[in-house]
Amino acid sequence: MEYTLNGESVKYRDLVRDSSFRDKISFLVNNPDLTKTKLFGGLNPCCWGTTTYVIGANQGVKDVCVKNGFSLDDYCSAMGDFVVIPDNNKPGYVGREPMELFLSTLSKSDAVKDSVVAFFWQNKNNEFCGFGLHHSGIYLGDYGNQKIIFHQKEIGERFQFIPLDEFVKELCEESRRTLDVRFYKTKT
């Protein structure tokens, strides 16, 4: 399969080919407009929705939310702590608290191929986020001496392959200063 995501996937083709998530990553790379899918209330898919889709956990996220008292049809939370996954065949929107609940069902690990990489940092003057989960992606492995991740940049923004260090450099100084990067084993 030929990859066309701004030339990045050609560079990291072997990492994608050797990933247990090859088919889903290839699907997203070849369907970049999925980031613009209109979900409930005009929301678009987010990084957490993309991560859960890639690892095949859409239903798992729904299940853990219901188990913890979330109503999957209650979208009134001003903080976005809800889940909008239209089906299990594409990424959706997963809020911060539901994603943290889901990550708590996974085992923490070292940086191993095909693990979820989650980024936690402090947000000054923001009681809601505090030192909370702010981003996630899939760690595909090493390319040279760089750790490569696949992620969705932001809500409704593009999919991207990027060295982990480069992603970190794009964060503001306060976020980098308080950054905690965690890896989680996926159930593949």
Written as one string, the DSSP assignment of 124-162 is TT-TTTSEEEEEEEEEEEEETTEEEEEEE-STT--EEEE
Closest CA to 116 of 175, 44, 55: 55
| pLDDT of amino acid 133 | 79
pLDDT per position as a tens digit, 25-52: 999 998 999 999 988 778 899 999 999 9
pTM of the shown model: 0.89
What's the whole-number average pLDDT of the chain? Answer: 85
